[in-house]
């Protein structure tokens, strides 16, 4: 399946800031079952963007903006071809590992925040009957069915910093929360598991934008890493696009950074996915840039308003629109 993905990040600041330094993790991987055909990343204000790979081989783009600014725009466009091989948990008959795991898998057996190895998670582990199971596939099936049965997908009841305790106490959360709970349950069972960040293409009848998505992969001796989506209780198909792997969300957030200045930051993120077309190599790539204003010294907001005409309220309203 060919998928076109556009990921937009709109950062707004309540006052002028400077010395913005930011990591962006939005470039899909090329790996078995997935090939990245095209990728572009545009940042405004215009600045130099560098790329490197982290310890998991995830692409990281980094940039700095050192002059004064009050907004940052990031546009990432990807064209990805997906041809996954699905491994269903019912076919995974490997016994649950005993006696520890190799050093390569050690990180994916550790439990640390946002996954909380506390009474709530241990009680859920026992309630789902996981200690009585003998194969990896059985555990994954019970985890998926149990999370579907006991918890509701509901936006805006948790945030990016929530732990598994928030889902277990509130009974609802988003894909990130389901993924963290599944990771905790599998790791308590002795099964290495890792967090996956990416995109899920959903055919929509309206213009409602898509969202980033999160799921997990669990390790089996016979099949290697196998993906599973605990939010929907299914094995990922060609509509899923992998961006990064980590121990939890904290390893692979779409954006992370710091800035200097007495201002609060607001972020609006948009993801738009659609069926794509194979690229025409004969055409030259578009020269994309966003020439947003920067200042060597912090401008006075009221002075700029007086010079441009209109009151401050109308200027602010235009920025919000």
Residue-range domains of the chain with CATH: 2-82+254-320 (2.60.40.2250), 89-237 (3.10.620.30)
Residue 95 scores a pLDDT above 90:
yes
CA–CA distances in Å: residue 225 to residues 175, 196, 214, 299: 20, 11, 16, 53
Angle at 95 (CA atoms; ends 125, 176), nearest 5 degrees: 40
Above pLDDT 90, what percent of the chain? 80
Whether the bond between 264 and the residue before it is cis, its omega within 30 degrees of 0, is: no
Residue with tokens 């439990």: 111
CA distance 132 to 164: 23
pLDDT at 306: 40
CB 274 within 8 A of CB 120: no
Provide, for the chain, the percentages of residues in helix, strand and coil under a 3-state DSSP scheme, each rounded to the nearest 5.
25, 35, 40
Summarize pLDDT for 109-168 with one digit per residue, the tens.
999 999 999 999 999 999 999 999 999 999 999 999 999 999 999 999 999 999 999 999
CA distance 12 to 14: 7
In DSSP notation, 13-75 reads: EEEEEEEEEEEE--PPP-BTTEEEEEEEEEEES---EEEEE-TTS-EEEEEEE-SBEEEEEEE
| Residue 314 banded pLDDT, cuts 50, 70, 90 | very low
Secondary structure element (H or E) that encloses residue 258, with its range: strand 255-260
| Residue 276 banded pLDDT, cuts 50, 70, 90 | confident
**Is residue 48 packed enough to be buried (19+ CB in 10 Å), middle (13-18) or exposed (0-12)?**
exposed
| Residue 209 banded pLDDT, cuts 50, 70, 90 | low
pLDDT at 280: 64
Residue 31 scores a pLDDT above 70:
yes
Most distant CA atoms of the chain, gap in Å: 74
Global pTM reads 0.88
pLDDT at 313: 33
Coil, strand or helix: which one is 295?
strand
Report phi then psi at 236, rounded to 5: -55, 140
pLDDT at 319: 25
Which residue from 86, 111, 96 is spatially nearest to 226, judged by alpha carbons? 86
CB 92 within 8 A of CB 135: yes
CA distance 137 to 220: 9
Residue 309 scores a pLDDT above 50:
no
């Amino acid at each position: 399946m060919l998928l076109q993905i556009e990921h937009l990040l709109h950062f707004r600041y309540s006052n002028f800031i400077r010395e913005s330094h930011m990591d962006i993790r939005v470039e899909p991987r090329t790996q078995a079952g997935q090939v990245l055909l095209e990728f572009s990343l545009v940042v405004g204000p215009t600045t130099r963007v560098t790329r490197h790979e982290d310890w998991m081989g995830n692409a990281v783009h980094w940039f700095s903006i050192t002059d004064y600014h009050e907004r940052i725009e990031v546009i990432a466009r990807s064209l990805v071809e997906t041809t996954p091989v699905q491994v269903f948990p019912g076919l995974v008959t490997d016994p649950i590992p005993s006696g520890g795991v190799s050093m390569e898998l050690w990180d994916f057996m550790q439990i640390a925040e946002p996954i909380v190895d506390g009474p709530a998670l241990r009680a859920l582990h026992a309630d789902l009957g996981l200690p009585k199971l003998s194969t990896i596939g059985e555990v994954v099936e019970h985890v998926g069915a149990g999370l579907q049965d006991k918890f509701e997908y509901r936006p805006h009841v948790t945030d990016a910093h929530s732990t598994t305790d928030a889902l277990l106490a509130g009974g609802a959360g988003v894909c990130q929360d389901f993924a963290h709970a599944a990771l905790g349950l599998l790791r308590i069972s002795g099964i290495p598991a890792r967090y996956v960040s990416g995109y899920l293409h959903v055919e929509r009848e309206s213009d409602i934008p898509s969202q980033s998505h999160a799921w997990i992969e669990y390790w089996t001796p016979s099949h290697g890493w196998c993906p599973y989506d605990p939010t929907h209780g299914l094995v990922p198909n060609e509509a899923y696009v992998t961006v990064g792997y980590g121990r939890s969300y904290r390893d692979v957030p779409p954006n992370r950074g710091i800035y200097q200045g007495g201002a609060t930051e607001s972020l609006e993120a948009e993801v738009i996915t659609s069926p794509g077309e194979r690229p025409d190599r004969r055409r030259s790539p578009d020269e994309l840039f966003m020439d947003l204003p920067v200042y060597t010294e912090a401008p006075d907001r009221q002075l700029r308003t007086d010079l441009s005409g209109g009151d401050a309220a109308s200027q602010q309203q235009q920025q919000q629109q």
